[in-house]
Amino acid sequence: MRVLHRQPQQVADQLEAAARDPSIISLAGALPAAELFPVASMRTALEKVLRNDAAQALQYGWPEGKERLLRHIGSPAIVTNGAQEALHLVGRVIVATGALVAVEVPTYASALQSFDLRHARYLPVPRTTAGLDLEALEDAFRAGARVFYLVASGHNPTGGVLDADAHRDILALAERFDAWIVDDQAYGAIVYGEAPPPLRSYGRHLDRIAEIGSFSKVLAPGLRVGWLAGPAELVRKATILKSAIDLETAAFTQLVLAHWLEASTLEEHLAQCLPVYRRRRDALVEALRHEIPDDVAWAPPDGGFSVLVTAPPEVEAEALLPRAIEAGVLIEPASPYFATILAPGAMRLSFSNVAEDRIGDGVRRLARVLRDVLPPRRGALRKPTEWRKT
Ligand SMILES: Cc1ncc(COP(=O)(O)O)c(C=O)c1O
């Protein structure tokens, strides 16, 4: 499993070791389901590349990426090594050293890692599954932030999805302050109702929207293919930077993906994946509803691969982790997702890569641990006899 570098080393070590133990039910990591990878059609695409396009696939190319793949992304855009490289490039191009950056609280921790490299100073814009705090966004712009990093759909870690009204409000504010929006659409298509379009589709503020996309969640993260799309000048600068960092994204992978996209459609593939993820989401929500003590907060996600669960302040997720592992369930302490406040009780529970029939057991194991550590008055589901033991 991929462990965030914002995570303390001790926590990272525990997560990595436990993720290798098959007896532990892992609600950590938010990995796509391996059994949904389109292996057969990928093999066909791979064979086609080697048969028809080997000279191009095995040769050096250009930093902006293969035209054949960019056709599926739109332009101006640059193909990147996953959305993560796009975040790095955007950070280097539009975030000055030490600049103020408005970020959702919580937000995707590895985006913060990229902006950390710019020594960004964060201004908080609270985000829950209910929506985004627009007043806080306005305050952040007033205080001088000229970049807002947003995961509008399938928000990581809450699973929230903003609607079109919220998109328009955000665009209007960004227009007023001439601020950049970094619109991270890595989870844009992983939505369990209607998937709202990315911000660029509204056709306004186009000179200040940096769209980040990825084939990781919708297809396979092992491809390491994503993109950065936006105004031509941004893409030009990112392209120069990329050529200095890694020359280009692997031509071989890009062409395999391009061939795959020509033979299959993402829509058809997602039509197979989304019902599986939706059922796993439902299983997690159902289990949380029945098992988790009342004073542990959480809200059902409308997209993405995970749920944010917050225990009361006296419970620290990092301290809970070894006990959870001992009980046979892996959870992810979510402090790294909070740029501006401490959130010791927050944990991210992912459902995407767990068989539906193991999710309930995983949550029951976690609930037992929580009831053990919560003070007696808080353990809503605890039986009176157990109370006396603590
Ligand atoms: C919101 C968000 N953006 C970007 C990424 C990076 O994705 P990748 O580099 O695999 O495309 C992730 C991965 O977890 C993510 O959750």
Looking at the DSSP bridge assignments, the partners of residue 147 are 180
Q: Identify which of 16, 198, 186 has the alpha carbon closest to the alpha carbon of residue 108.
A: 186
The Cβ-side half-sphere exposure at 217, using a 13 Å CA radius, reads 26
Q: Residue 4: its pLDDT value, please?
A: 54
Q: Give 1-48 as a DSSP string.
A: ----TTS-HHHHHHHHHHHT-TTSEE--S-PPPGGGS-HHHHHHHHHH
Q: Which atom of ligand 1 is nearest to the CA of 221?
A: 10
Q: Average pLDDT for residues 295-307, to the nearest whole number?
A: 97
Looking at the DSSP bridge assignments, the partners of residue 122 are 101
Kindly report the number of other CB atoms within 10 A of residue 35's CB atom: 9
Token pair for 371: 């009831």
Read off the pLDDT band of 99 (50, 70, 90).
very high
- Closest-CA residue, ligand 1 atom 12, reads 186
pLDDT tens across 70-98, in order?
999 988 999 999 999 999 999 999 999 99
Q: Which of 6, 7, 84 to mutate to test the pocket of ligand 1 (most atoms within 8 A of CB)?
A: 84
Entry pTM: 0.94
Q: Identify which of 351, 317, 77 has the alpha carbon closest to the alpha carbon of residue 192.
A: 351
Backbone angles phi, psi at 217, to 5 degrees: -80, -35
Q: Residue 306: its pLDDT value, please?
A: 97
Q: Which residue has the tokens 């028809």?
A: 52
- For residue 305, how far is its CA from the centre of ligand 1 (angstroms)? 11
- For residue 186, how far is its CA from the centre of ligand 1 (angstroms)? 6
- For residue 83, how far is its CA from the centre of ligand 1 (angstroms)? 5
Question: Contacts from 172-176 at CB under 8 Å and sequence distance 24+?
Answer: 173/134, 173/137, 173/138, 173/141, 174/141, 174/148, 174/205, 174/208, 175/204, 175/205, 175/208, 176/141
- For residue 248, how far is its CA from the centre of ligand 1 (angstroms)? 19
Read off the pLDDT band of 8 (50, 70, 90).
confident
- What residue ranges line ligand 1, CB within 6 angstroms? 82-84, 108, 151, 156, 184, 186-187, 214, 216, 221, 226
Residue 201, C-beta contacts closer than 8 angstroms, at least 6 positions apart = none
Let me know: does 335 contact 225? Beta carbons within 8 Å.
no
Token pair for 99: 């600049």
Q: Is 56 helix (H, G, I), strand (E, B) or coil?
A: helix
The Cβ-side half-sphere exposure at 364, using a 13 Å CA radius, reads 6
Q: Give 185-248 as a DSSP string.
A: -TTTT-BSS--PPPGGGG-SSGGGEEEEEESTTTT-GGG--EEEE--HHHHHHHHHHHHHHTSS
* Measured distance CA(128)–CA(131) in Å, rounded: 5
Q: Which helix (H) or strand (E) holds 270?
A: helix 266-291
Q: Which residue has the tokens 């201004």?
A: 123
Q: Which of 217, 218, 308, 352 to mutate to test the pocket of ligand 1 (most atoms within 8 A of CB)?
A: 217
Q: Residue 388: its pLDDT value, please?
A: 33
pLDDT tens across 179-198, in order?
999 999 999 999 999 999 99
Q: Residue 375: its pLDDT value, please?
A: 80
pLDDT tens across 328-386, in order?
999 999 999 999 999 999 999 999 999 999 999 999 999 999 999 998 765 454 443 33
* Measured distance CA(288)–CA(351) in Å, rounded: 12
Q: Which atom of ligand 1 is nearest to the CA of 151?
A: 1
Say which amino acid occupies 338: F
Let me know: does 111 contact 3? Beta carbons within 8 Å.
no
Q: Residue 387: its pLDDT value, please?
A: 33
Mean pLDDT of the chain: 94
* Measured distance CA(195)–CA(191) in Å, rounded: 5
Rounded CA Rg of the chain:
21
- For residue 368, how far is its CA from the centre of ligand 1 (angstroms)? 32
Let me know: does 284 contact 312? Beta carbons within 8 Å.
no
